[in-house]
Structure 1
Amino acid sequence: MKAVTWQGKRDVRVEDVPDPRIEEPTDAVIRITSTGLCGSDLHLYEVLTPFMTPGDILGHEPMGIVEEVGSEVTNLRPGDRVVVPFQIACGHCFMCSAGLPTQCETTQVTGEHMGAALFGYTRLYGAVPGAQAQYLRVPQAQFGPIKVPEGPPDDRFVYLSDVLPTAWQAVEYAAVPPGGSLAVLGLGPIGEMACRVALARGVEQVFGIDLVPERLARANRRGVRTYDLRAFDDDKALVNAIRDATGGRGPDSVIDAVGTEAHGSAVAKLAQQATSIMPRQLSAPFAERFSIDRLAALYTAIELVRRGGTISLSGVYGGMADPMPMLTLFDKQIQLRMGQANVRRWSDEIMPYLTEEDPLGVEDFATHRLPLAEAPRAYEMFQRKQDGAIKVLLEP
């Protein structure tokens, strides 16, 4: 089959690889019909290269048709149309039963001291072959795949794999009080969808902050009050502008949907680039022990949120030596919640929003649809924010 493989920093290729097959009785094999390119994939393209191996198959946002199931998968049969969550979880361990499939005790990557295995996401998360491919082996298929109806286009459901539950959890963790306000830092796919979810769930004031014109315009059309970072001399001016719109206090909640690749963190950017060009035998241990994130977005969130407010982190951070302003966090009595999205915990709550009325605008959410063969161009375009690329779907 054809699959998108990682070959080095900013080097992905579509190659022939062996077809997946049933290896365990809890496996299924899915024929992919649509698969997303995620902002987290750009971390592999640019930042997390020390944890990648040439030939790794990328991707973790698939949907498709069940081709084959193992003997213990009784909830699926060939021909079913399914969305596959990005994490791999059993559904019956203590953590899964507690609504935390990202911490699944059956698939935890204990050798790396990490949580549940993820599709296509470095050796830290199990080095499981990913979903930017024609076919996908799905472990723990007795729990993971979400059956969806025939008829509507893939765009109606494909975001259940990652974008929708990640945005939903970001809003849930933000805990905006009735009549309250929410600021979202970063209007990429997750940030913008978080804005849409918040508005659909009745949040009265939603502020969106970014510096890409196309992102700002899209969010503004959906009723988000947008702020262009380029219009402010510094972060303090931005913070003051939003405080002025919230009675001088700041928003009740802030979602950081940017994460480790934030603009405005020159030293951390240099450190990230250094690890990506070091010899592999040195770069991974260095990154594990001494890596730092570009924390500009998180610092802005801490400054922006009102006293006693909540910060919800959905942007991916991976540093081990991050300087945190603990005095400010403590003094402002800020609540901080974070983590990978627990897809199956939220999928039943999200499904009623995927109706013909399409209140979240999922059917026109993708800006680009490209054949799998054009994945290298898609990665470059998305990473460089070219051609208005905000969300890209690949079609095998």
Structure 2
Amino acid sequence: MIDSSMQQFTFLAARQFEWREVPTPKIESPGQAIVRPLAVTRCDLDLYIANGIVPMRNEAFAFGHEIAGEVVEIGDDVNGFVPGDRVIVPFQINCGTCKNCQLGFPNACTSVPAFSAYGLAQSSGKDWGGGLSDYVLVPYADAMLVKIPDQISLPVAAAISDNASDGYRTVAGPLEKQPGEDVLIVGGLAQSVGLFAAQAALALGAGRVVYTDFDSDRLSRAKKIGAQVLERQYHADMPVDGQFSIVVDASNMPDGLIYALNSTAACGHCTGVSAPGRKMDNIPLGSMYMKGITYDISRAQARATMPGVIKCACDGRIKHEEVISKSVPFAQAEEMITDPDIKVVFVKD
């Protein structure tokens, strides 16, 4: 029996959070399920929302969106899951049946408001709940939920719901088209995504994987993963370190993006995992045109990407736990949500 009220970790303003007692979500249609979060990894974006670098209105909303947990209740039409199943809850809300979902674009599901996701109510205008809560409602259980294989821990499963899948998609498609090519990862403020991308590139058979960054902890972790590392302070007009057919910009910095684009070889592919600076006047469109490079910028298609990530985790090619840097109980969320460590996971007490 689920209690009528629950605890929810709630954003109030930058560096201001509190645990609030709120009504427990209820199943309102037969395709829904309720999941009890057991592990929630902090998304790279969450850190910057929490510390105010990414500004949000001072309006309360549920926080946390990288979720792994246990099904506790299902609607009558849910066929793929039963109470007790360990599941990954992808961070984006998607129906699985609209045109975009069928095309593999769950981040653009047309059955819900644009940008709908857990823990990010101000993006879509609708609060879908947050992972750092006693329970979350999954509106499209069969389309969204993914069972966690025995080989995968709850913290790793939580990371796969967003950042680990985000890193994977930056290199999986390009390496499928150009097997064995060298890969450059421009690391930075998308702390874990860049490292997850390096892991994926190595797992998927890239040639040389070069990881650049200005942070010694991330450089050390990238080296342990198996990447060649170069310490770089990104700045305007900085020289490149070669030409790479596949480049990932995880810097989330305008100068890092320019370095990434200038490092992309003729007819190569550069993927950006964020929108540094939001608007930029100095993107080298002329050289990009002459070289014929592709720049791909998009939010992750998490649910569509997850099967490939899970396969690599199950067969041991990717050890996502090497990126997760700190584990703390839910009860420490207020003090640890702004901790600068690379990848924090909150686990149910």
> For residues 153 and 178 of structure 1, what CA distance do their matches in structure 2 show?
30
Query: Match for 1:395: what amino acid?
Result: V
% identical aligned pairs: 26
Q: Structure 1 residues 151, 97: closer, same or farther in 2, change over 3 A? A: closer
Partner residue, 1:192: 195
Question: SS at 1:42's partner residue?
Answer: helix
Question: SS at 2:256's partner residue?
Answer: helix
> For residues 237 and 340 of structure 1, what CA distance do their matches in structure 2 show?
27
| Residue pair 1:35, 1:132 contacting (<8 A) in 2 also | yes
User: Is 1:361 aligned with 2:313?
Assistant: no
- Aligned-residue RMSD, C-alpha: 2.2
Partner residue, 1:97: 102
Partner residue, 1:285: none
Partner residue, 1:373: 331
Query: Match for 1:220: what amino acid?
Result: K
CA apart distance, 1:364: 3.9
Of 29-38 and 153-162, more deviation after overlay is shown by 153-162
> For residues 260 and 152 of structure 2, what CA distance do their matches in structure 1 show?
38
1:308 to 267, 282, 296: 267
* 1:165-194 alpha-carbon deviations (Å, 9 max, x no partner): 211111134447233211111162110011
> For residues 153 and 302 of structure 1, what CA distance do their matches in structure 2 show?
36
Partner residue, 1:392: 344
2:213 to 202, 210, 215: 210
Of 173-182 and 78-87, more deviation after overlay is shown by 173-182
Of 29-38 and 14-23, more deviation after overlay is shown by 14-23
Query: Match for 1:14: what amino acid?
Result: W
Q: Which runs of 5+ in 2 are unaligned?
A: 1-5
Partner residue, 1:143: 143
Query: Match for 1:338: what amino acid?
Result: I
Question: SS at 1:40's partner residue?
Answer: helix
Larger fraction in helix: 1
> For residues 24 and 33 of structure 2, what CA distance do their matches in structure 1 show?
13
Query: Match for 1:360: what amino acid?
Result: I
* 1:96-131 alpha-carbon deviations (Å, 9 max, x no partner): 111111111112x2xxxx44x111113322332211
CA apart distance, 1:89: 0.7
Partner residue, 1:132: 132
Partner residue, 2:158: 158
Q: Which runs of 5+ in 1 are unaligned?
A: 244-249, 263-294, 383-388
Query: Match for 2:26: what amino acid?
Result: R
2:310 to 351, 354, 359: 351
CA apart distance, 1:152: 5.1
Q: Structure 1 residues 104, 310: closer, same or farther in 2, change over 3 A? A: same
CA apart distance, 1:53: 4.9
Any residues of structure 2 matched to 1:36-55 within 5 Å, and which?
36-45=41-50, 46-50=52-56, 52-55=57-60
> For residues 325 and 10 of structure 1, what CA distance do their matches in structure 2 show?
37
* 1:338-386 alpha-carbon deviations (Å, 9 max, x no partner): 212222322222222223x63212234321111112112222212xxxx
Partner residue, 1:257: 250
Query: Match for 1:226: what amino acid?
Result: V
| Residue pair 1:174, 1:255 contacting (<8 A) in 2 also | no
Any residues of structure 2 matched to 1:70-89 within 5 Å, and which?
70-89=75-94
After TM superposition, the score normalised by the length of structure 1 is 0.79
Query: Match for 1:177: what amino acid?
Result: Q
| Residue pair 1:120, 1:127 contacting (<8 A) in 2 also | yes
| Residue pair 1:210, 1:229 contacting (<8 A) in 2 also | yes
CA apart distance, 1:43: 3.7
* 1:25-58 alpha-carbon deviations (Å, 9 max, x no partner): 32211111100111111342224434x4532011
CA apart distance, 1:317: 5.0
Query: Match for 1:305: what amino acid?
Result: T
| Residue pair 2:62, 2:121 contacting (<8 A) in 1 also | no
Query: Match for 2:183: what amino acid?
Result: L
* 1:178-237 alpha-carbon deviations (Å, 9 max, x no partner): 33211111162110011011001110111101111111011112221111124x8x5655
Partner residue, 2:61: 56
Question: SS at 2:110's partner residue?
Answer: coil
> For residues 25 and 324 of structure 2, what CA distance do their matches in structure 1 show?
28
> For residues 225 and 325 of structure 1, what CA distance do their matches in structure 2 show?
27
Number of residue pairs matched by the alignment: 337
Question: SS at 2:8's partner residue?
Answer: strand
Question: SS at 1:253's partner residue?
Answer: strand
Partner residue, 2:3: none
CA apart distance, 1:80: 1.1
Query: Match for 1:180: what amino acid?
Result: E
| Residue pair 1:85, 1:144 contacting (<8 A) in 2 also | yes
> For residues 275 and 24 of structure 2, what CA distance do their matches in structure 1 show?
31
* 1:57-115 alpha-carbon deviations (Å, 9 max, x no partner): 111100111111122222221111100001111111111111111111112x2xxxx44
| Residue pair 1:174, 1:254 contacting (<8 A) in 2 also | no
| Residue pair 2:40, 2:155 contacting (<8 A) in 1 also | no
